[in-house]
Amino acid sequence: MFNLRHSIFALIFGGVAVLAALAPSFAQAPSWPQRQVRFILPIGPGSGVDITARLLADKLAAKWGHPVVVENRPGGDAFVAITSVINANDDHVLLYAPASTFTAHPLLHAKLPYDINDLAPVSRITNTIIGIAVPVTLGVNNLKELAAKIKAEPGKLNYASATGANELLFAAFLKSEKLEMSKVPYRDTVQAINDLAEGRVHAYVGAYAILRPQLQAGKIKVLALTNTNKAPSLDIPTAEGAGFKTLTMDGLTGLFGPRNMPMPVRERIAADIREIVTDPAIVSRLGATGQVVNPGTPAELAAAIDEQRGTVKNIGATLGLKPAQ
């Protein structure tokens, strides 16, 4: 009888011990990734976001033990990239994008083909350095000279810009300064840089990374940066420092997943990215390409996006634009 009772208690307590040992694994996030991860970008190769995405992809693939592939899907004012991620509804298919590509959408389009709530913030990564550039042949050396030239030749000069909030930012600047300038549309604004260098485009607002080759070739000048703070690696003034506060907006970039992506997975990705981009060698490398390292959690990315939406809302008020319903 004693042996039987002892055996029963041993079985019960043994089972409890096994369950206790297994309990932590039930509380942990699902194993991720389980296969190839894809970063979908709304802009073409050569931009600051593209350069950073490819560097991160290599480092994360080694860390995660699965390939990380970067796919450029420019066009459609970022709708192509955004809707492809949302429609995939797969936590291995992520949007890697400047927030400015979609924070301005409600002001640029009467109706949107997606719901922004279908994207979940995963990780803040960098602030892209955004430059305001002109061809050397234009003969201007700073923003005040550019404004004076536009005013002297109303409607004769044109500009191009990265899509989204950067486009609205420059348009608001023109309206605030009572300047007339036509916009040249591009499917992929990276292509506009060649036209800028040749003088066919008279001003461009976009990532410093794609401006740099033509700057180094001596064909263009970067007059100012839209960023709040001066870039440590560049001897270029901010627009606010040059006397034009209305041209201030940071080039926030981040990673986004489907709306139901588990928070533990998102936080794990953000932590892995922070570990990589805060390495001094990576900080230096990204700085040279026009990026300021600024990693953050899902919550920090969400807060930064809300802040940019507030800036865009003010720009919309300046331009008299009403957001899409």
One-letter amino acid at 169 equals L
Q: Residue 167 pLDDT more than 90?
A: no
- Classify domain 37-128+250-319 by CATH number: 3.40.190.150
Which region among 184-188, 214-218, 221-225, 269-273 has the lowest average model confidence (pLDDT)?
A: 184-188
With left for phi above 0 and alpha for psi between -120 and 50, is residue 139 left, alpha or beta? left
pTM more than 0.85: no
Determine how many CB atoms are found less than 10 A away from the CB of residue 180: 13
Q: Where are the domains of the chain?
A: 37-128+250-319, 130-247
CATH fold of 130-247, please? D-Maltodextrin-Binding Protein; domain 2 (3.40.190)
Q: Residue 44 pLDDT more than 80?
A: yes
Strands 119-128 and 291-296: antiparallel
Question: Above pLDDT 90, what percent of the chain?
Answer: 66
Q: What is the DSSP letter of 322?
A: P
37-128+250-319 and 130-247 share one fold: yes
DSSP alpha helices (H): ranges in the chain?
Answer: 2-27, 48-64, 79-88, 100-103, 105-108, 143-152, 165-176, 192-197, 208-216, 263-277, 280-288, 298-319
